[in-house]
């Protein structure tokens, strides 16, 4: 029996002649590739995923006698940038997810002039098993400094050997030092200055009818995988209630690791023109980690297109804002910048599926500014199983969200405590990860976008809804769990989109 291994293969380099080599369309009906390797020892096939998606989630190529490489776009094919395979069978049978829009390229390599015969089959696979929620928090060699009146003189930062950058809108500056010790020494100095409102360390923040629709138990729990029938957000009933109603486009900012907008399920849903990558300092946003794409799929993956999964709000447009790196970590300063960018670009809802252990007044100020600008901020409660919720979910003006499982029980990892507002499904939630695979992932990071999506759906249904009115609707419509009434394990209850929609007048 073949066993799936989480193995990443190395990159196969293309020569210029391979890039310009003649290509052959991958057969739609035949399931064996036959031919002769060219003079460079290659056979190149084009692979439009859309031709196969009605029948499969993946293609499997038997590479017992060949080497194979896949390129997810013509651009990557021209550059020689291969798809870094996530699923690889022990006997070298390559499994490729059919997630991308446009055309993909498959290159097989063998002895020049020899015949090849490469079987391939269409496969329907379940999402990968859950990824583990991660993390550690640490202080960095940077400080966030807020002045009472204007900026401190340049000579002060020069004498402290700091480089400075500003966070417009918050009267904040980030001062970066060569070492943590230098930052700590400067912090002690600045705390004694009458011109300084506050100074804090910049902390490390961490990532707190479609083919796969039957696996989306959070939208419709039929008891699959030992779940409890009906322990879901009542999405099927909400869709019936919404039939025939007009939904207006609503901007939702995903402040995270980015979004891979090249997936077919995200076509027309990701506003790349409004996004920004604060890790690389670029307007083009990537997602090398996959966490942000997973969050994005929960909110707004296209429905009824045969690909992957169904997002919750069919009228949501996503603003991709990258503040976390390929390891799911970033700085409090970049998170604050990300929130400000989302506000500037017109987001009505901001999703923060991230957490940190210590308070950051910089992020608190950014969230307060969002509240002033009538933007709803939704944040994950944290994944430590603690009796206090993490920051930024703990701040005022944040709708904090914990996680429940398939049986409507609080997940063991979900932080609880004073300030918890709602719970939503967050255990084994299928969505996209960094290389086009669908994977189950667990965490309050998955629960928060359920709430952000429903909040945006209510605003799409009634654009005049304010953040406070939206929050009130979500709380009053939630399904009470645990102790009767509000409690610190379930907040006001589990998200119920059907009840929420029914209350919109």
Residues in the chain: 505
Residue 12 clears pLDDT 50, i.e. is over it: no
Higher pLDDT, 395 or 358: 395
Q: Assess contact for 157 and 175: CB atoms under 8 A.
A: yes
Q: What's the predicted TM-score (pTM) here?
A: 0.85
End-to-end, the C-alpha distance of the chain in Å comes to 57
Identify the pLDDT of residue 10: 27
- Write down the residue that tokens 């293969």 correspond to: 9
Cα 79 to chain centroid, rounded: 26
Residue 399 clears pLDDT 50, i.e. is over it: yes
Closest CA to 233 of 472, 450, 430, 475: 450
Identify the pLDDT of residue 21: 53
Positions annotated as catalytic residues are 256, 291, 445
Report residue 2's pLDDT band, with 50, 70 and 90 as the boundaries: very low
What's the pLDDT tens digit per position in 27-47? 887 789 999 999 999 999 999
What's the pLDDT tens digit per position in 195-240? 889 999 888 887 764 677 788 999 999 998 889 999 999 999 999 9
Closest CA to 204 of 391, 288, 329: 329
The residue-averaged pLDDT of 389-402 equals 97
Residue 112 clears pLDDT 70, i.e. is over it: yes
User: Per the structure block, which two tokens stand in for 5?
Assistant: 């291994």
Identify the pLDDT of residue 14: 33
Window from 3-7, 58-62, 86-90, 307-311 with minimum mean pLDDT? 3-7
Q: How many CB atoms lie within 10 A of CB 198?
A: 15
Identify the pLDDT of residue 95: 87
Residue 118: DSSP 8-state? E
Identify the pLDDT of residue 411: 96
Identify the pLDDT of residue 155: 57
Identify the pLDDT of residue 4: 27
What's the pLDDT tens digit per position in 296-342? 999 999 998 889 999 999 999 999 999 999 989 999 999 999 999 99
The residue-averaged pLDDT of 6-23 equals 38
Residue 94 clears pLDDT 90, i.e. is over it: no
* Domains and their CATH numbers in the chain: 4-125 (2.60.120), 139-205 (3.30.70.330), 206-503 (3.40.50.200)
Q: How far apart are CA 428 and CA 197, in angstroms?
A: 44
Report residue 88's pLDDT band, with 50, 70 and 90 as the boundaries: low
The residue-averaged pLDDT of 58-82 equals 87
Window from 53-57, 245-249, 382-386, 487-491 with minimum mean pLDDT? 53-57
Q: How many CB atoms lie within 10 A of CB 386?
A: 15
Residue 355 clears pLDDT 50, i.e. is over it: yes
Among residues of the chain, what percentage have pLDDT more than 70?
89
Residue 317: DSSP 8-state? E
CB-based burial label for 339 (10 Å; 0-12, 13-18, 19+): buried
The residue-averaged pLDDT of 93-99 equals 88
What's the pLDDT tens digit per position in 449-502? 999 999 999 999 999 999 999 999 999 999 999 999 999 999 999 999 999 999
What's the pLDDT tens digit per position in 113-171? 999 998 989 988 888 876 544 444 456 789 999 988 655 666 566 667 788 888 877 87
Identify the pLDDT of residue 28: 80
Report residue 16's pLDDT band, with 50, 70 and 90 as the boundaries: very low
Identify the pLDDT of residue 87: 64
Kindly report the average pLDDT of the chain as a whole number. 88
Listed in sequence order, the residues at least 6 apart from 10 whose beta carbon sits closer than 8 Å to its beta carbon are none
Q: How far apart are CA 285 and CA 107, in angstroms?
A: 28
Q: How far apart are CA 253 and CA 339, in angstroms?
A: 8
Identify the pLDDT of residue 195: 84
Q: Assess contact for 331 and 360: CB atoms under 8 A.
A: no
């Amino acid at each position: 029996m073949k066993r799936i291994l989480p193995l990443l293969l190395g990159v196969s380099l293309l020569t210029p002649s391979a890039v310009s080599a003649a290509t052959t369309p991958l057969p739609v009906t035949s399931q064996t590739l036959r031919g002769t390797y060219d003079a460079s020892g290659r056979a190149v096939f084009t692979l439009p995923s859309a031709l196969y998606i009605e029948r499969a989630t993946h293609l499997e190529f038997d590479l017992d006698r060949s080497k194979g490489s896949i390129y997810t776009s013509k651009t990557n094919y021209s550059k020689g940038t291969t798809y870094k395979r996530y699923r690889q069978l022990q006997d070298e049978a390559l499994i490729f997810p059919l997630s991308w829009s446009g055309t993909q390229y498959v290159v097989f390599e063998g002895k020049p002039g020899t015949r090849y015969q490469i079987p391939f089959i269409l496969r329907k696979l379940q999402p990968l098993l859950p990824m583990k929620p991660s993390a550690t928090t640490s202080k960095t060699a940077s400080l966030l400094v807020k002045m009472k009146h204007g900026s401190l003189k340049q000579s002060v930062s020069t004498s402290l050997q700091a480089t400075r950058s500003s966070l417009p809108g918050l009267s904040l500056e980030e001062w970066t030092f060569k070492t943590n010790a230098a930052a700590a020494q400067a912090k002690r100095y600045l705390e004694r200055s009458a011109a300084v409102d506050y100074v804090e360390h910049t902390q490390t923040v961490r990532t707190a009818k479609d083919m796969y629709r039957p696996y989306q138990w959070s939208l419709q729990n039929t008891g699959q995988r030992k779940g409890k029938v009906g322990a879901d957000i009542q999405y099927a009933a909400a869709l019936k209630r919404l039939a025939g109603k007009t939904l207006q486009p609503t901007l939702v900012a995903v402040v995270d690791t980015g979004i891979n907008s090249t997936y077919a399920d995200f076509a027309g849903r990701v506003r790349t023109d409004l996004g920004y990558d604060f890790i690389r300092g670029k307007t083009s946003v990537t997602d090398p980690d996959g966490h942000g794409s997973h969050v994005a799929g929960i909110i707004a993956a296209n429905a009824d297109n045969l690909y992957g999964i169904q997002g919750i709000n069919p009228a949501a447009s996503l603003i991709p804002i990258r503040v976390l790196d390929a390891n799911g970590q970033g700085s409090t300063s970049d998170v604050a910048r990300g929130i400000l960018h989302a506000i500037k670009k017109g987001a009505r809802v901001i999703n923060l599926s991230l957490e940190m252990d210590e308070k950051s007044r910089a992020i608190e100020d950014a969230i307060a500014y969002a509240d002033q600008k009538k933007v709803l901020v939704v944040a994950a409660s944290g994944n430590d199983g603690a009796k206090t919720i993490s920051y930024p979910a703990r701040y005022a003006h944040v709708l904090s969200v914990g996680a429940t499982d398939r049986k409507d029980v609080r997940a063991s990892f979900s932080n609880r405590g004073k300030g918890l507002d709602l719970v939503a499904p967050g255990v084994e939630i299928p969505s996209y990860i960094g290389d086009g695979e669908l994977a189950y992932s667990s965490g309050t990071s998955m629960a928060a976008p359920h709430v952000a999506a429903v909040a945006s759906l209510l605003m799409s249904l009634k654009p005049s809804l304010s953040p406070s009115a939206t929050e009130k609707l979500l709380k009053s419509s939630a399904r009470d769990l645990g102790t009767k009434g509000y409690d610190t394990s379930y907040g006001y209850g589990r998200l119920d989109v059907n009840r929420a929609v029914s209350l919109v007048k």
